[in-house]
Amino acid sequence: MSIAVILIAFVPALVAPIVAVTTRSKSKTIMAGIAIGLLGALTGNPAFALLDAAAAIGGLWLALRIFPTTLDQGPLPEAKRTPERAAPLPEVILGPSSVVNGPRPASAPRSRPDFARPITCGSSEIRPAPVPRTGSVSYIVAFVKYSDAAKEYPVACFRTDVIRGDDVIVSLGDGRFVRSTVVAVRYLNWACTSRIVCKASEATLIDGRLNLLEGTPSRVGLVSADWLISLLRDRGWTPLKYINTYRIVLAYNNDLQTARIWVRKNGVDLQLLPDKQPMPRPFSQLSNALTEGRFVRHYLAHTTFNLFEGIMRFAQSFEAGEGLYDRFFVPVGRPDRRTEALKEASERRKRDRLFKRDDEFDPADYVASNGGGDRAYLGDGMWVTSDGRFEDSGH
């Protein structure tokens, strides 16, 4: 068997990678790999049928392995990318965030000193981000007003450069696109049905059809735990496993100590061990690890700055062996993701359930059933009036 014959037999291995690069479609790449494998096996010399099939399978594996982040990243539903006036924007900008840096509207999250300073990561580039799924959890939540609505609505925001007053395009849960204005930006870690697709200046919206400018980013900045994990691993942090509470643990040794970053669904925790410990194998299991050294728990909801950026600042400080880490061990955020308005609504529902056992029973009925008059005694000095108000008038 000559070398030329062998090289010709491996031509099917090139088809899938070429399709992956040109179409950026995982489904088309898989179909191309299967088709060329069957074609080579059925039409080629029987002596080389197995070689053709193996080459096609190898090419498909190579395409899915090397180009996974470029596949299935086409435009949003009903949206086309058209090259227009603006120069291409970076897919991900990791550095000073408009939400936490510079002149700030009153309703935007306010920075904390030091721990909340914006980060920079030199000239590091990050792989293109996939378009977020509708209903996915968003650490940053923007409250927007639609042109024909008086109320504010929370929407997912996967961009750190969106601030109060920005005109944006929002994708609704039913697939429609609407122009909206941002009235507030908060860190809440909510799952929202609608999300911000882009700024209004980055697209045209005509008759419900959205056309994005070439290079419009789907995400900007450090906005998710997935990106944090990816960045830390790229910087040499070792991934480890723990109990189900934590998605992953990342560990690093500097010259003197060992640090661990614990990533969970609603927060990121930090641990600083008193000495330098042997680094376990990647993805090995930790046991009784939370009882060691110094530990702090941070929650994502209601932080006043981007916690993911704060964790990156800790990682950079520890890698450099700065030795002064107290500012990173002050707990931030709250476990309750509800806003004050939602808490008040919950309390009202609890009070309603206390007095209203069915649709026909209200506080006035309760007062009447307890002797009539304008109010009834509840106990412990508390009274309820016939119009539903509570009074603390003593016994």
Per-residue pLDDT tens over the stretch 51-65: 677 777 777 777 666
| Dist CA 344 CA 124 (whole Å) | 45
**In terms of DSSP H, where are the helices of the chain?**
3-9, 15-23, 26-43, 49-66, 225-234, 307-319, 340-355, 363-369
**pLDDT, averaged across the chain:** 74
The confidence band for 299, taking pLDDT boundaries of 50, 70 and 90, is very high
The confidence band for 157, taking pLDDT boundaries of 50, 70 and 90, is very high
Does residue 177 carry a pLDDT above 60? Answer: yes
Pairwise pLDDT comparison (323 vs 117), residue with the higher score: 323
Q: What is the pLDDT, as a whole number, of residue 109?
A: 41
Pairing verdict, β 79-82 and 209-213: parallel
User: What does residue 119 show for φ and ψ, rounded to 5 degrees?
Assistant: -105, 160
Q: What is the pLDDT, as a whole number, of residue 105?
A: 35
| Dist CA 17 CA 64 (whole Å) | 8
- Please compute the mean of the pLDDT values over residues 96-122 and round it to a whole number: 38
Q: What is the pLDDT, as a whole number, of residue 58?
A: 75
Pairwise pLDDT comparison (357 vs 127), residue with the higher score: 357
The confidence band for 37, taking pLDDT boundaries of 50, 70 and 90, is confident
Q: What is the pLDDT, as a whole number, of residue 189?
A: 92
Does residue 272 carry a pLDDT above 60? Answer: yes
Does residue 283 carry a pLDDT above 90? Answer: yes
Does residue 205 carry a pLDDT above 60? Answer: yes
Q: What is the pLDDT, as a whole number, of residue 278?
A: 94
142 has which bridge partners?
Answer: 155, 185
Among 33-37, 130-134, 352-356, the range of highest mean pLDDT: 33-37
Q: Report the side by side order of strands in the sheet with 203-206.
A: 79-82, 209-213, 203-206
- Please compute the mean of the pLDDT values over residues 156-175 and round it to a whole number: 94
Does residue 252 carry a pLDDT above 50? Answer: yes
- Please compute the mean of the pLDDT values over residues 223-248 and round it to a whole number: 93
Q: Which two tokens stand for residue 243?
A: 């109990």
Which residues make Cβ contacts (< 8 Å) with residue 317, sequence separation at least 6? 324, 325, 328
How many helices and strands (H and E) does the chain possess?
8, 16
Q: Which two tokens stand for residue 124?
A: 């590091």
Q: What is the pLDDT, as a whole number, of residue 158?
A: 95
Does residue 257 carry a pLDDT above 50? Answer: yes
Query: How far is residue 40 from each of residues 84, 147, 277, 292, 339, measured CA to CA in Å?
Result: 43, 58, 54, 59, 61
Pairwise pLDDT comparison (248 vs 76), residue with the higher score: 248
Percent of the chain beyond pLDDT 90? 41
Q: What is the pLDDT, as a whole number, of residue 207?
A: 87
Rg (CA), the chain: 28
- Please compute the mean of the pLDDT values over residues 161-184 and round it to a whole number: 93
Closest CA to 116 of 267, 295, 271, 332: 332
Which residues make Cβ contacts (< 8 Å) with residue 345, sequence separation at least 6? none
Domain boundaries, the chain: 3-70, 80-213, 225-329, 340-392
Q: What is the pLDDT, as a whole number, of residue 47?
A: 61
Pairwise pLDDT comparison (6 vs 380), residue with the higher score: 6
Closest CA to 178 of 156, 147, 203, 154: 147
- Please compute the mean of the pLDDT values over residues 136-160 and round it to a whole number: 89
Is there a contact between 169 and 133 (Cβ–Cβ < 8 Å)?
no
Residue 20, Cβ neighbours under 10 Å: how many?
Answer: 26
Least confident stretch, 39-48, 168-177, 180-189, 287-296: 39-48
Q: Which two tokens stand for residue 297?
A: 């728990």
Q: What is the pLDDT, as a whole number, of residue 313?
A: 96
Q: Is 269 helix (H, G, I), strand (E, B) or coil?
A: strand
